[in-house]
């Protein structure tokens, strides 16, 4: 295998789209009573709050704005303060989609939160929406019919890198059937609704993930009496956005998806002022996740790559086809443990490393990319994701 460091050039980036939903065991996301139905428990609401705090914008359909009158704010004071400290608004932007423009300016979506509210309206309803929402929201003409890819591109242009989509059913169907969700958080509540008049998670649609195209189940997590399933739908089609020019066709897109997942994992690290927050995932040649890891995962000294590699038996033959995706360049020298992640990667026999962010000389000098490359490992640097990987560590770079 050729060594070398390649740069990927990416055009027309859209936000990372994380779709979040809670449903009953029989697949309903509400009952038919008209009053909101609590599917999650307190601990899960808190998890959702944390996910929200890590996003730049939250999107719901106009149907949810009307049915639930949700606040869509980060609830925790500590998380709001942390966002402000990172130079962000206390709570993410709010976004909704509408076909007919029938939205009430007195809804909490518009009245609460000192953030911009964006309404993407299908062209014929733009005037109507602008008239009723003047002063409370920015109404954007999203085409006729509404062009979801254009909406995402516009959000990216407004600085939205991570978008959380919180329903309802029609909106989930729209994103999932278009193959525009990068990650799906599905929470199952331990009860039945059993009413055909109640809304379901999704309706009818040309979902790309049928029986022949299964999604990747990345995680299951019990949270009290509910369970969280995290799926990574595979990229379905190139939509002009996020297209990488380097490498084999499709490889760039696959690399980005896993690297974004690694960055996602880095958000789980316990906060530290003396070490980076890093996420890592090891994927074999068939696309199977061998292990994930993040900094300080089970010990304050853990590095992400180290934590992931420790979970894979040294004689696992899949290591020979594996790629290590890590949000930060693997370290070479470290004060805390004898072997750096570069050495551990070489010892594991992993032939390929993809990373986002070059290690800045903050805690140690690092020559991970060069060392791996010199040892014959294919090293790919996806530098346009570096800002996102660094953002998770913004508190280490005050001012």
Q: Could you tell me which of 295, 288, 294, 350 has the C-alpha nearest to residue 324?
A: 350
Where are the extended beta strands (E) located within 117-161?
117-121, 138-141
Among Zn ion, ligand NAP, none, partner that 303 touches (CB below 5 to 8 angstroms by kind): Zn ion
Collapsing DSSP to helix, strand or coil, 176 comes out as helix
Nearer to ligand NAP, 54 or 199 (CB): 199
Segment contacting Zn ion (CB under 5 A): 35-43, 82-90, 248-256, 328-336? 328-336
**DSSP for residue 319:** G
Nearer to ligand NAP, 68 or 182 (CB): 68
**DSSP for residue 90:** S
Chain mean position to CA 77: 23
Among Zn ion, ligand NAP, none, partner that 146 touches (CB below 5 to 8 angstroms by kind): ligand NAP
- The stretches of the chain forming alpha helices (DSSP H) are 42-53, 62-68, 77-85, 108-111, 126-133, 148-157, 169-177, 251-266, 304-309, 341-348, 368-374, 386-391
Nearer to Zn ion, 188 or 331 (CB): 331
Under rule CB under 5 A, residue 341 binds Zn ion: yes
Q: In angstroms, what is the minimal distance from the CB of 232 to ligand NAP?
A: 19
For residues 264 and 279, the answer to whether their CB atoms sit within 8 Å is yes
Among Zn ion, ligand NAP, none, partner that 100 touches (CB below 5 to 8 angstroms by kind): ligand NAP
Q: Give the span between the Cα atoms of 372 and 394, in whole angstroms.
A: 27
Segment contacting Zn ion (CB under 5 A): 5-13, 63-71, 140-148, 337-345? 337-345
For residues 308 and 346, the answer to whether their CB atoms sit within 8 Å is no
For residues 56 and 159, the answer to whether their CB atoms sit within 8 Å is yes
Angle at CA of residue 196, ends 191 and 201, nearest 5°: 65
Neighbours of 197 (CB within 10 A): 9
Q: Pairing mode, if any, of strands 279-283 and 323-328?
A: antiparallel
Binding marks (x or -) toward Zn ion, 284..303, rule CB under 5 A? Answer: -------------------x
Q: Which of 142, 277, 331, 366 binds Zn ion (CB under 5 A)?
A: 331
Under rule CB under 5 A, residue 344 binds Zn ion: no
**DSSP for residue 135:** T
Nearer to Zn ion, 122 or 386 (CB): 386
Binding site for ligand NAP (CB under 6 A): 21-22, 29-30, 36, 39, 60-64, 67-68, 97-100, 102, 122, 145-146, 166-171, 174, 199
Q: In angstroms, what is the minimal distance from the CB of 142 to ligand NAP?
A: 7
Q: In angstroms, what is the minimal distance from the CB of 354 to ligand NAP?
A: 33
Nearer to Zn ion, 10 or 389 (CB): 389
Q: In angstroms, what is the minimal distance from the CB of 270 to Zn ion?
A: 16
For residues 317 and 328, the answer to whether their CB atoms sit within 8 Å is no
Segment contacting Zn ion (CB under 5 A): 29-37, 204-212, 238-246, 341-349? 341-349
Nearer to ligand NAP, 153 or 266 (CB): 153
Q: Could you tell me which of 155, 225, 160, 221 has the C-alpha nearest to residue 185?
A: 221
Nearer to ligand NAP, 145 or 349 (CB): 145
The contact set with Zn ion (CB under 5 A) reads: 303, 331, 341
């Amino acid at each position: 295998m050729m060594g070398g460091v390649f740069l990927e050039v990416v055009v027309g980036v859209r936000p990372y789209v994380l779709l979040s939903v809670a449903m009953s065991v029989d697949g309903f996301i509400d009952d038919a009573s008209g009053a909101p139905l609590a599917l999650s428990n307190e601990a899960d609401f808190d998890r959702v709050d944390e996910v929200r705090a890590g996003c730049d914008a939250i999107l719901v359909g106009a149907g949810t704005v009307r049915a639930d009158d949700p606040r869509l704010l980060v609830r925790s004071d500590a998380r709001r303060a942390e966002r402000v400290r990172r130079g962000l608004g206390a709570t993410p932007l709010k976004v909704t989609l509408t076909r007919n423009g029938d939205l009430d300016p007195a809804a909490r979506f518009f009245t609460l939160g000192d953030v911009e509210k964006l309404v993407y309206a299908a062209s014929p309803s733009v005037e109507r929406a602008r008239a009723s929402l003047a002063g409370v929201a920015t109404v954007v003409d999203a085409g006729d019919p509404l062009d979801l890819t254009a909406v995402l591109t516009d959000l990216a242009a407004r600085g939205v890198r991570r978008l959380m989509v919180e329903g309802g059913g029609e909106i989930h169907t729209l994103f999932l059937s278009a193959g525009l969700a990068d990650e799906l958080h599905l929470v199952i509540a331990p009860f039945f609704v059993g009413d055909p008049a109640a809304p379901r998670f999704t309706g009818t649609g040309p979902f790309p993930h049928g029986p022949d195209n299964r999604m990747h189940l990345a995680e299951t997590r019990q949270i009290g009496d509910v369970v969280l399933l995290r799926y990574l739908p595979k990229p379905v089609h190139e939509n002009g956005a996020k297209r990488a020019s380097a490498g084999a066709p499709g490889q760039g897109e696959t690399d980005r998806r896993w690297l974004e997942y690694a960055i996602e994992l880095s958000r789980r690290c316990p906060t530290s002022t003396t070490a980076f927050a890093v996420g890592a995932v090891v994927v074999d040649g068939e696309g199977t996740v061998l292990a994930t890891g993040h900094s300080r995962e089970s010990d304050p000294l853990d590095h992400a790559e180290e934590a992931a590699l420790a979970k894979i038996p040294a004689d696992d033959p899949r290591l020979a086809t594996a790629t290590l995706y890590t949000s930060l360049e693997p370290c070479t020298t470290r004060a805390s443990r004898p072997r750096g992640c570069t050495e551990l990667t070489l010892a594991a026999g992993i032939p390929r490393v993809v990373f986002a962010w070059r290690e800045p000389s903050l805690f140690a000098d690092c020559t991970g990319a060069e060392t791996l490359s010199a040892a014959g490992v294919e090293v790919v640097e996806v530098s346009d994701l570096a800002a996102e990987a660094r953002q998770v560590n913004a508190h280490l770079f005050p001012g």
